[in-house]
Chain A
Amino acid sequence: MNIELIAAIILLVGLVGGKLASKARLPSVTGYIIVGLLMGPSFANVITKEMVYSLQFVNHLALGMLAIAIGAELHRKVFKKNGRILFLVSLGDNLGTFIMVALITFILGLPLAFSLVLGVLSMTVSPSGVLSIIKEYRGKGPFVRSIMTLVAIENLNCIIVFGITTAILQGVTSSDLQGGALILNMLIELGLALMIGILSGGFLAFLIWRKTNENKFMVMVIGFIFLNSGIGEIYGLSAILINMTTGALVTNLVEENNILSNALEKIELPIFVFFLTLAGAKLDLAILPKIGLVGVGYIVGRLGGKLAGSYISAKLTNIGKRYRRNLGIALTPQAGIVIGLSIEAEQRLPQFNGLITGIVLSGVVFFEIVGPILLKQALKNTGEID
């Protein structure tokens, strides 16, 4: 079968899966991933590894689009108003999640390096998952706004910690790098990523000021996403961080809401369907027995860590009681970013051998089904949807 047919099948089957899922009152994302799984090596084996490779650029585009969207949530106004509180809450939430997941998976017998990376990965929150639920149920209010900002901050935290962790692990596994050099390396990497993101963002902002027409701007944004991701790949920088920086800079320079997400809105669905279905297809059920208990541990750890961490840290601030209890529940969806990061982790640390992605994906399947339901409940509890 040729590549066009495969691409068409992925897209079509993904769409149908999404439709079926929404008929079953599940989020569409769950549908994409499950039908992808059915087409992958575990079942039909229509999608093989080589095909996935030659369609890789769509994944990069999808991840870049997600990262830009998250970055765009980081507007300075939000920080000025209640930056300290949100930062504290996100820290507590992240820390709780990290500790619980790392601890539980380590106790269940994973090597320390694996547990640490899993702990970091568990910190991500899916922006598309959260946003789509909020949109679907038309949530409005202070709680909803805090949630959206928290998603951005927590992902940012995660990416930074992810950079640090993988750098250290890379250093430990390859003995030719020493402590000081390692830290320096990492700082240079973060600095470079920020710089590239700022350059791209500055240029895009410039285009917006010049009132570039819609289509041209869309192509420009796509062009810069590819440029950012490509440069990231060449120099081993985090593509997600670069794109996030771009998004953040644009929102802060241009006082216009959603200008980036509007530009990409028209092309986003087919690309995300494709991306998520392909992600499902990468999941090989043969590793499930190996994952088994660890997968359950990851899920339990993440859920427990989020609830406890956000509750404790919220208690230290003056956030209302009703909100405190619901923060952790609201922030569980997990999808694109974590898959992207786990793939990045596998690339940097080849000894992981697919196990990390497997665990993360089983977590994604769970949290994509349960996360939105929990979020919906949280919104109900706080009275921000009818």
Chain B
Amino acid sequence: MDLLVKISIVLLMGILGGRIAKVLHLPSVTGYLLGGLLIGPSFANVVTDHDIHNFEIINEIALAAIAFSIGSEFHIKDLAKVGSKIFIVTLVQAFATIIAVFSVSYFMLNQSFELSILLGAIAAATAPAATTMVIKQYKANGPLTRTILPVVAIDDAVCVMAFGLAMAVVKMTAGSAADVSLLSMLAHPVIEIIGSLAVGFIIGVLLVFLGNKASNQEELIGMVLALIIAGGGLAHTFHLSPILLCMMIGATITNLMRNPRRAFDGLSSFTPPIYLFFFTLAGAGLHLNVLGKLGYLGVGYIVARAIGKIAGSAIGAKAVGYPDTIVKYLGLGLLPQAGVAIGLAMVAKQQLPEMGGMLSTVVLGGVFVYEIIGPVCAKIAIQKAGEMNTDTIDPEPNYI
């Protein structure tokens, strides 16, 4: 079938899914994903894995735009005040998740140490996209909302670090350590994080410079778009994190630009079709058959991750003295998982082929489950925390 027709099918199916989700009181994101699932290889196979690969650029743009918009939450002044608290909470929940998944896999299910530690590190990853969408759809605002986004963002850096460490440990114990020193293994994630932030900062400064020259809103949208796409492209060329990098672009202009709201609002008028396409395509990329292969380990992984995220967030939030709503519901908002986890699993599979098959099966199963139920949990979290903007839930959210 023609590529253009497929694009239109993805868009229209996404809208249909969103519509059905509204009837069922689910977040739109879940609707797009389910709509995509129906046209993907699991069911109709209208959109094949090959097509999904062809549309890669739209995914990159969507992720870049989402990360960029999260960057708008990082005001230097606020960060100085609450930054260390958020950082601690992020660390605690990530660490708790790693411990929980590792323990279940290693002690309860008798898996190898290497596999367990890698699963733990990948379990810590969260997907910023779905959570951001849910927050936007319900126009949520409040202490919980303002905590979730930065935590998700910083979690990306923490996860890069944790995964790098886990890989280093695994390679050591696997005995191939002779040719790789611990230092160089550790330097790798550090370089990735610092490099992402540095490149993001430079692009951000460039955007500030160009943006102040833009004569109208449309031109500004064009510039923002061009630079965040460039950020995503550079991240891939130099093996940096596109999420961290684009987030840093957003954070830089938030703090340096005269009127940063213009840039963010401008971009958000361009993004609805891209986001819808992105999520529907992500749904099409889910393979139902991974669920059948999950086994005990998969189920254990999924349950342990949820426990780790929820308990870890609660402990961390309590420790830094956050209000009860955050203690109770932060973890629920951190459950979505998507591309980052898959990407890490692929890296592990490439470098450690002997355990990679098992690892990626478990991770893909986890992504399937968390991608579908994650947004629903996030919705419940902000609903229970009373941070939904009630007059927009019904009848017609302004978002798609």
Q: Does B24 contact A (CB under 8 A)?
A: no
- Please name all residues of chain B whose beta carbon is closer than 8 Å to the beta carbon of A269 when the two chains form the complex: 218-219, 221-222
Partner of A4, one of B221, B232, B276: B232
Docked CA distance A54–B398 (Å)? 33
The main secondary structure of chain A at its interface with chain B is: helix
Count, chain B residues at interface, CB 8 A: 45
Chain B residues 1 to 38 lying within 8 A of chain A, measured CB to CB, are: 1-9, 11-12, 14-15, 18
Known interface pairs A2-B233, A215-B398; A12-B223 also in contact (CB < 8 Å): yes
- The 8 A CB mask of A8-34 against B (1 = contact, 0 = none) is 110110010001000000000000000
Min distance, Cβ B232 to any Cβ of chain A, angstroms = 5
With A2-B233, A218-B272, A222-B273 already in contact, the answer to whether A11 and B225 are too (CB < 8 A) is yes
Q: Establish whether residues A9 and B230, one from each chain, have CB atoms under 8 Å apart when the complex forms.
A: yes
Binary flags per residue of A317-348, CB closer than 8 Å to B gives 1, else 0 = 00000000000000000000000000000000
Instruction: Given A215-B400, A226-B11, A230-B7, verify A12-B270 contact (CB < 8 Å).
Output: no
Instruction: Let me know if A229 and B229 touch, CB within 8 A.
Output: no
* B143–chain A nearest beta-carbon distance, Å: 28
- Residue in B3, B215, B396 with the greatest tally of chain A CB atoms within 10 Å: B3
Q: A15-B219, A266-B269, A269-B218 are in contact. Are A8 and B4 (CB under 8 A)?
A: no
Most buried by B among A8, A15, A229, A233: A8
Contacts of B9 in A (CB 8 A): 227
CB distance from A174 to the nearest CB of B (A): 22
Say whether B230 contacts A4, CB under 8 Å: yes
How far is B272's CA from A60's CA once the two chains are assembled, in angstroms? Answer: 19
Interface of chain B: mostly helix, strand, loop or mixed: helix
Whether A4 touches B226, Cβ cut-off 8 Å, given contacts A57-B3, A224-B8, A230-B3, is: no
- Among A3, A60, A216, A233, residue most surrounded by chain B Cβ atoms (within 10 Å): A216
- Contact present for A11 and B272 (CB under 8 Å): no
CB of A69 to closest CB in B, whole Å: 15
User: Interface on A for B, CB 8 Å cutoff?
Assistant: 1-9, 11-12, 15, 19, 54-55, 57, 60, 213-216, 218-220, 222-227, 229-231, 233-234, 266-270, 273
Given contacts A4-B61, A223-B8, A226-B5, 20 further A-B contacts (CB under 8 A): A1-B237, A4-B236, A8-B226, A9-B230, A12-B227, A12-B230, A15-B223, A55-B57, A60-B4, A215-B272, A219-B276, A225-B8, A226-B7, A227-B4, A227-B5, A227-B12, A231-B5, A234-B2, A269-B219, A270-B222
30 residue pairs of the A-B complex, CB under 8 angstroms, read A4-B60, A4-B61, A5-B229, A6-B233, A7-B57, A8-B229, A8-B230, A12-B230, A54-B54, A57-B4, A213-B400, A215-B272, A215-B400, A218-B273, A219-B11, A219-B272, A220-B12, A227-B8, A227-B9, A229-B4, A230-B4, A233-B2, A234-B2, A266-B270, A268-B218, A269-B219, A269-B222, A270-B218, A270-B221, A270-B222
Per CB-CB distance, the 3 closest pairs between chain A and chain B, nearest first, are: A230-B4, A4-B233, A230-B5
